[in-house]
Amino acid sequence: MSVILDPWGHFAIEEYEKLFSQFGIEPIDNVLDKLPRLHRFFKRRIVFGHRDFDKWLKALKDGGKVAILTGFMPSGHVHLGHYAVLEELKYYQDLGVDVTIVIADAEAYAVRRLSRKEIMEYAREYITYAFAIGLDPRRTRIYFQTNYRPTYYRLIQLFSRKVTLAEMEAIYGKLEPSKIIAALTQAADILHLQLKEFGGYEWILVPVGADQDPHLRLSRDIADRFKNELGLRRPASTYHKFIRGLDGNKMSSSKPDYAIFLSDPLDKVKSKVMRALTGGRATAEEQRRHGGEPEKCTVYDLYVYYLSPDDDDLRRVYSECIGGQILCGYCKRRAFERLEKILVDLRERYRKVGDSGIVEEVVDFPDF
């Protein structure tokens, strides 16, 4: 049976493997040896799948015109899930790849129904964190969907001629005007860098969460149909798993008790971590005897994503857990201490970026 991925839904993707058979996403494994540098996100299969990433990597190796583009919807405060994407972008920028970030403010307004004022505040927070994490403000192109050049909007209008509603609904489920426009706008985001005016890049890679794959399928179809007219080719993409929230579901700003926001007060971070769902047993005695279950544990997720960048260290955490040598209370306190270090350092840089005025200098904010 066909299943529809809803990029606007609040779901957790339970079985990432199914995406391979159902949607033709390729497992990341077959390209790992082609990466110039193996980031832990790849090694640990946080980036688990792709489309045409092998072709993009080959172009990178051969000195082709490659670029990266991804987008953020400014619909809430920045949390640890977003941090991973920003870190991924930094990895590519450090390899010398040109990075573009689109701020999906039109989508946040039309689909998430936020006010323009809220959207602008969240957007500023995202961009400031992007620079705090280490993206180079002078080498990162950032634009808003509502505040860009005419040629970008022209693409949306041209694209509308060569897609049908039935075809779009087969990809997205039931649509309404706001979502149709959001989807075509996202296709323009993904494809516009190939136009001369925007750099004439030939190989675009779009790193996203797996829920965004419908947009990639649409963009790839559109690229095929505009091959002759505009010289477009299919974009490549990679897919990452979302870090789980502390309740075990997708981390989301709509459930603030179970998300760790980068700007949360530290005592709040601590109490959230201490209350997190773990893979611990009912009693200390049982845990010593049977060990914990890291696969079920949201605190273990924190170690995998951020707190154990060193593989030997991660292996140690894992074996201490399954061997029953440590209990969850200790493991959570240690997780918090490590997280605290990361956050304190990040906030110091966030403050400096904010004070420097660089965000206003390099990003063109819409007037309203």
The residues of the shown chain that bind ligand SF4, judged by CB under 6 A, are: 278-280, 292, 294, 297, 299-300, 321, 326, 328, 331-332
Member of 50, 51, 53, 70 binding ligand TRP (CB under 6 A): 70
CB of 300 to ligand SF4, least distance (A): 4
Quick check: 127 binds ligand TRP (CB under 6 A)?
no
User: Using an 8 Å Cβ cutoff, are 252 and 10 in contact?
Assistant: yes
**Using CA atoms, how far apart are residues 31 and 205, in angstroms rounded to an integer?**
14
| Cα distances (angstroms) measured from residue 314 to each of 182, 295, 309 | 40, 13, 8
CB of 238 to ligand TRP, least distance (A): 11
70 binds, among ligand TRP, ligand SF4, none (CB under 5 to 8 A by kind): ligand TRP
**Using CA atoms, how far apart are residues 292 and 7, in angstroms rounded to an integer?**
34
Query: What six digits make up the tokens of 283?
Result: 């009693």
**Nearest residue (CB) to ligand SF4, 217 versus 288:** 288
- 81-105 core/surface letters (b: 16 or more CB in 10 A; e: else): bbbbbbbbbbbbbeeebbbbbbbbb
Sheet with 203-209, side-by-side order of all strands: 26-27, 47-51, 236-240, 203-209, 66-72, 98-103, 140-144
Which amino acid does the sequence have at 176?
Answer: E
Task: Sort 19 into a burial class: Cβ within 10 Å, 0-12 / 13-18 / 19+.
Answer: buried
CB of 215 to ligand TRP, least distance (A): 6
74 binds, among ligand TRP, ligand SF4, none (CB under 5 to 8 A by kind): none
**Nearest residue (CB) to ligand TRP, 71 versus 279:** 71
| Residues within window 218-257 making contact with ligand TRP, judged by CB under 6 A | none
CB of 216 to ligand TRP, least distance (A): 8
Residue that is written with structure tokens 């270090």 in the block: 341
Which amino acid does the sequence have at 357?
Answer: G
Using CB under 6 A as the criterion, what x/- string covers residues 170-209 for binding ligand TRP?
A: ----------------x--xx---------------x-x-
CB of 278 to ligand TRP, least distance (A): 29
279 binds, among ligand TRP, ligand SF4, none (CB under 5 to 8 A by kind): ligand SF4
71 binds, among ligand TRP, ligand SF4, none (CB under 5 to 8 A by kind): ligand TRP
- Phi–psi pair at 147, nearest 5 degrees: -145, 60
Member of 52, 88, 105, 107 binding ligand TRP (CB under 6 A): 107
**Using CA atoms, how far apart are residues 232 and 91, in angstroms rounded to an integer?**
26
**Nearest residue (CB) to ligand TRP, 31 versus 190:** 190
**Nearest residue (CB) to ligand TRP, 175 versus 342:** 175
**Nearest residue (CB) to ligand TRP, 72 versus 242:** 72
Member of 67, 104, 210, 259 binding ligand TRP (CB under 6 A): 104
φ/ψ region of 263 (left if φ > 0, alpha if ψ in -120 to 50, else beta) reads alpha
Q: How many CB atoms lie within 10 A of CB 195?
A: 18
- Scanning 68-76, 151-159, 160-168, 340-348 for contacts with ligand TRP by CB under 6 A, the matching segment is 68-76
**Using CA atoms, how far apart are residues 366 and 363, in angstroms rounded to an integer?**
10
- 164-180 core/surface letters (b: 16 or more CB in 10 A; e: else): eeeebeebbeeeeebbb
Member of 56, 60, 67, 71 binding ligand TRP (CB under 6 A): 71
214 binds, among ligand SF4, ligand TRP, none (CB under 5 to 8 A by kind): none
β-pair partners for 31: none
CB of 249 to ligand TRP, least distance (A): 17
Q: How many CB atoms lie within 10 A of CB 134?
A: 15
**Nearest residue (CB) to ligand TRP, 208 versus 317:** 208
- Tell me the H-state helices in 192-275: 213-225, 227-230, 266-274
Which amino acid does the sequence have at 354?
Answer: G
Among 238, 298, 304, which residue's Cα sits nearest to residue 274?
298
245 binds, among ligand TRP, ligand SF4, none (CB under 5 to 8 A by kind): none
List of residues contacting ligand TRP (CB under 6 A): 7, 69-73, 102, 104, 107, 186, 189-190, 206, 208, 212
